[in-house]
Amino acid sequence: MSQGELFRHGSVRRINWRVHKPLRVFAPGTSLRRRVAYSLGVVRLILAPVILLAIYYLFMMSRIVDRIVRVDAQVATLAENVSIQMLNARRMELNYFLLHDPADLNASRASLTSMDQTLAQCAAIQPAEHGAVAAILAEVQAYRQHLNEAVANAGNARTTTAQRFRQVVKDYENNLNGLIKRSRRESRSQLLEDLRSESGSFDSQVAAAIAAGNPALRQATQDLQASSDKILHLASDLKTTSWNRVREDHLHARHLIDRAEWVLSVVSVAVILLSIIVGYILPHQVVKPLMDLKAAVDHAAAGNYEIEFDVQGKGEVAQLAHSVRDLISHVSEKVEESKVNKLG
């Protein structure tokens, strides 16, 4: 029930009390449009840190992921391909010296060419590894030279080489049988290590069988073995370095996520508190003057015209207060005139 209705229902004591204690109305002159603009500005100011921080962390995360996918992981994969190509070139080289098939020699040289292309891709993707790539390329070139020397010194001792190769295969088979017999007493990891060692020794024995009886060829095959081992070692180092970069990027990304969660949590709490404060102050400053003017109109409607207006400035609220004051003053004069006419 409004105050005017209370007066209409006979609350005379309330009216008399109001007459002796005039209502005070404060009407600041700040423009409502300006206050709305301030409110929107504060809202943008509150949301800006959250949005900007989110964009920043998303940008940093995208950079890390892009570096992992397009650079570090790709270089590691290419380095592994270099090792595979080197092993394939070595296998084709051994096949050539055993069987003297030109197709095997061409396949070995094709693998070396593929290694050059793969290493060029590594250098283009990761310029920081230019030194490591250059070292591998130098060893590939040395391997190519040693291969040409070995081919020139190979001769045509097919029968002797085949006999020696059969003996190497027989010895290798005996070693594998002994390894299988010992497998029951060894762990799985040790068994795999022994198999890897036997496989490597088989290549060395084949190379030795090929070069037996030919000192120049023996030296060339030894140089080939040394170059291939160095290439495999350098390629393994390049792969390990790249995967270490992937792990570092992953740790950096994890640290960035943790920091983003902490920073955004703090900023969100601060934003919530600020929004609560702003949400209480700004509506209060906008609504309170209008509620005071409504109370003044209710008092005037109830017959209480003793209202003090504190009007400041030239805003919309101040203009409305002036209009309400003039209206109440005009109504008060009309009421006084009506009373005088009745008495006269």
Range with lowest mean pLDDT among 107-111, 264-268, 280-284: 280-284
Residue 143 belongs to what domain range?
Answer: 73-244
- Do 204 and 305 reside in the same domain of the chain? no
In-domain check, residue 270: yes
- Do 232 and 332 reside in the same domain of the chain? no
Predicted confidence (pLDDT) per residue in 190-208, tens digit:
666 666 666 656 556 655 5
Q: Measuring CA to CA, how many Å separate 344 from each of 143, 330, 334, 335, 337?
A: 131, 21, 15, 14, 10
- Do 226 and 99 reside in the same domain of the chain? yes
- Do 207 and 167 reside in the same domain of the chain? yes
- Do 80 and 7 reside in the same domain of the chain? no
- Do 314 and 177 reside in the same domain of the chain? no
- Do 33 and 153 reside in the same domain of the chain? no
List 309's β-bridge partners, or say none: 25
- Do 231 and 335 reside in the same domain of the chain? no
In-domain check, residue 62: no
Instruction: State the total domains in the chain.
Output: 2
In-domain check, residue 56: no
Q: The pTM is what?
A: 0.57
Tell me if 123 sits within 8 A of 208, measured CB to CB: no
- Do 11 and 81 reside in the same domain of the chain? no
User: pLDDT-based confidence at 182, cuts 50/70/90?
Assistant: low
What confidence score (pLDDT) does residue 180 get? 66
In-domain check, residue 65: no
- Do 217 and 271 reside in the same domain of the chain? no
Q: Measuring CA to CA, how many Å separate 193 from each of 74, 183, 196, 239, 271?
A: 28, 12, 5, 21, 60
Point out the domain boundary residue: 197, 212, 244: 244
Quote the percentage of the chain above a pLDDT of 70: 67
By C-alpha distance, which of 63, 131, 118, 128 is closest to 86? 118
User: pLDDT-based confidence at 114, cuts 50/70/90?
Assistant: very high
Predicted confidence (pLDDT) per residue in 300-343, tens digit:
777 777 777 777 767 777 777 788 888 888 888 887 788 777 77
